[in-house]
Structures are given as structure tokens and as C-alpha cells.
Amino acid sequence: MAWNAAANTSAQNLAQNVALQTSLTLNLQAYPKDTVSGGYWTGTLNDDSTAIRFGEFVFSHSSQWGGYYWDGFTYATNGDNNNYGYADTTGHSGSVNWINHQWGVMAGGGIKTIANNAVTEVRKGIPYLIAYWGYYMELFGEHSLQVNLADSSLFAPQEIYICNHPWPYYGNFYGDGFARPLNHPGDVFKLIIHGVKANGTEVTQDVILAQYNANAPYNVSQSPDWKRVNLATFGNIKSLYFTMYSTDADPVYGPNTAVYFCLDKLKITKDGSAIAQKFEVVTAQKAVKTIEITDYFPVSSYTGGDVFIYDTNGKEVLKITVKTGEKINLSELPAGEYHVRHGHKTIPITKIK
């Protein structure tokens, strides 16, 4: 009888747990955000923006340094998939025009309909998320691309839809003035999805966004379409975060490939259990460690281009045009803290003399 009672209790507990489980799918259309004329969230460059929320989903966001830098996630609707690089004398493409056109998605719009785990219709005006990986945040211990639930519940991710962003997509074919084309044997550009368990351990899954293929146009194989990624093996986790990897990278300054991608339709289940520690978003007030330099530092530039130097208030204090492999000459600047922007990279530096 005791065994039967225990079995009955276990069955009741199982039934209660199943009843508590909830399936949630990120629905951006249900939580519209105000946008500016470029078709992106008005809070993208506001210094007081520290997260962006859609129902129970919370996505990290950080905007800093006088409103000219952001990382994390932002909301967009324009569906732009044009190439805003420009041809130069080397036959490659510059990147300065991308700064004002970094809000697109290669598929040409957000997801309208899905059938049999495949996207069947996309449309301009339907929202999607753009993710920009803050390499320096990651380098100093912060996850700039992090997702959790607002009530801090554990959750089990089931699937997500990923699409290439136009900047790295065209840069992988042609270069972009900072990055080279990914046309060397072994080249790869990938997204790494991390699931953090309640005990702090991680599970990961790689998503190849582009790779060398001798039989493909420009020797690069990559897709412009929304693709489903199965995450059902992750199990229960307390948060997701994303990092990126490119074979075109500098050991100090990180990837030269523009570290953007687009996402939508994250689907999860949750059972209502909460974690003890609340999720912490990357905020504009957090200290950012910088790289110390003297008069010069090397630029991993493929074709050169314009370099902009800003003070900590976001004021442009110097503009330099460099050639391939040239160092940026900062000898005119007084000692202090600055930010160097070249291509998609914004590098915090401290000039020590």
C-alpha cells in the first residue's frame, strides 16, 4: 500500500508540473516599439536604454558614449537588404555608409508565416530583432547579447529563427573596408548560442552563417533566408546568450567581420520554477575597461578607410584616413580616455602619454 501511495503522489506531482508548463513564442508584433525614419527602435542610442522587453522576454541592450555606440539587441522593421558598401580602388567595399544603414535583414523583412518549420512568407514592415555583439563587453566578463524571462523563471528553449544581417553578408563576399572577404580555405563566420544552467554550467550550439566553399559564388557559401535552429537539447536553463566567431579576426581587437545577425520567433517552455539570482542587463553605467596605447596602435584594416576618434561624451575630436596596414597616429591627442571607431568596431582606449 505504501508503494502505491508513493506512486500516486509521484503521478500527481508529474501532472501538476505538466499543468504548470507554458509554451511561449516571441511575438514582436504584439509589442510594437516606436521607430525613427530608418525603421529602428527610438531607444537604440539613448543612454538610459538598458534592455528591451517583449512580454515575458527580456533582451539586453546597451547604449553608451554620448549616444553614438550601442550593442545588444534592437528592434527593426525596414527589411532593407541592400549593399551599402562602396567600391574603392582595390575592388573591395568600404564600410562608412553602413553606420547609417545597419537596420536591415537579408531576408527582406520579418517573418509573417511559418509552415512545417520553414518560413513561408516575409514582409517589410514586420518587426525582427537585430543583434550586435559587443566584443569588448564579452572580453571583460559581460554578455552583451543575453535573453531571460522577466520573472526569472527557468525555461527550456525549443527553437529560434536566425537570418544573416546585410553588413556581414556583403562583407563576406566583397570585404567592407575593415574585414576581408571570407574566401580563404577554412574561413567561417558563425553564431554560438549559449544556454546557462541554474548551476552555471553551459550548453552551446553553433550556427554557421558563412563559410568558404570553392564551388560557390565568390568562394563563400551563405544564405539570405530565415532559418530554423532547433534548441530542444538545451533543457532547462536560466538564460541564453550569444557570441560570434570569424576566422578574419585580430587577437587583440577581435573579429574584423561585422558581428551582426537577426533573429525572431524564439520559442520556449517554462515550468514556473524561479532562479535565485535576478538577471542583470548590461547597462550604460557599467565601467568599460580600455586598451592602453601611447602614440600609435595597429589597425587590422583590409583596405584602410576613415577612422573617427571620440571623447567620452561622444564628441568627435579627430578624423584620420588610413591605408591598408597603417597605424592610427594619436600623437596629437592629450592623455585621456577616447573611443576609436573604424568600420563596425568601436574600441575604448586610454592614451597614457
Q: CATH number of the domain at 267, please.
A: 2.60.120.1350
pLDDT band of residue 185 (cuts 50, 70, 90) is: very high
Say if 11 falls within a structural domain.
no
Task: For residue 311, give its domain range.
Answer: 291-351
Say if 5 falls within a structural domain.
no
Whether 181 and 322 share a structural domain = no
Specify whether the CB–CB gap between 307 and 324 falls below 8 A: no
User: What is the domain count for the chain?
Assistant: 2
Cell of 135: 566584443
pLDDT band of residue 313 (cuts 50, 70, 90) is: confident
Q: Model pTM?
A: 0.85
Residue 279: pLDDT over 70:
no
Q: Kindly report the number of other CB atoms within 10 A of residue 23's CB atom.
A: 10
Of 351, 304, 350, give the one whose Cα is nearest residue 96.
Answer: 304
Average pLDDT on 171-189 reads 92
193 burial level (CB within 10 Å; 0-12, 13-18, 19+): buried
Whether 306 and 246 share a structural domain = no
Cell of 353: 602619454
Phi/psi of residue 209, nearest 5 degrees: -95, -30
Whether 174 and 303 share a structural domain = no
- What is the pLDDT at residue 275? 53
Looking at the DSSP bridge assignments, the partners of residue 106 are none
Whether 265 and 298 share a structural domain = no
Residue 5: pLDDT over 70:
no
Distances from the Cα of 51 to the Cα of 67, 103, 138, 202, angstroms: 15, 18, 17, 23
> 138 or 66, which is more confident?
138
State how far the Cα of 18 lies from the Cα of 11, in Å rounded to an integer. Answer: 11
Of 299, 297, 179, give the one whose Cα is nearest residue 247.
Answer: 179
Which range among 71-75, 174-178, 189-193 shows the weakest confidence by mean pLDDT? 174-178
Instruction: Give the helix, strand, coil percentages of the chain, each rounded to 5.
Output: 15, 45, 40
Whether 114 and 188 share a structural domain = yes
Average pLDDT on 259-266 reads 98
DSSP 206: E
Whether 119 and 182 share a structural domain = yes
Say if 217 falls within a structural domain.
yes
Write down the H helix ranges in the chain: 2-20, 135-139, 166-174
Instruction: From 239, 274, 309, give the residue that closes a domain.
Output: 274
Whether 332 and 203 share a structural domain = no
Instruction: From 274, 303, 325, give the residue that closes a domain.
Output: 274
Residue 164: pLDDT over 90:
yes
Specify whether the CB–CB gap between 160 and 73 falls below 8 A: no
Specify whether the CB–CB gap between 292 and 350 falls below 8 A: yes
pLDDT band of residue 312 (cuts 50, 70, 90) is: confident
pLDDT band of residue 280 (cuts 50, 70, 90) is: very low
Average pLDDT on 137-153 reads 89
Whether 180 and 328 share a structural domain = no
DSSP 93: B
Radius of gyration of the chain (CA): 22
Say if 283 falls within a structural domain.
no
Say if 13 falls within a structural domain.
no
> 240 or 305, which is more confident?
240
pLDDT band of residue 274 (cuts 50, 70, 90) is: low
State how far the Cα of 269 lies from the Cα of 288, in Å rounded to an integer. Answer: 35
Q: What is the dihedral of CA 79, 81, 85, 91, to 10 degrees?
A: 180
Say if 220 falls within a structural domain.
yes
Whether 150 and 41 share a structural domain = yes
Residue 8: pLDDT over 80:
no
Whether 241 and 94 share a structural domain = yes
Whether 295 and 256 share a structural domain = no
Say if 117 falls within a structural domain.
yes
Say if 9 falls within a structural domain.
no
pLDDT band of residue 3 (cuts 50, 70, 90) is: very low
Average pLDDT on 102-112 reads 98
Phi/psi of residue 207, nearest 5 degrees: -125, 115
Average pLDDT on 295-303 reads 66
Whether 234 and 173 share a structural domain = yes
Residue 22: pLDDT over 80:
yes
Phi/psi of residue 232, nearest 5 degrees: -65, -20
- What is the pLDDT at residue 91? 52
- What is the pLDDT at residue 245? 98
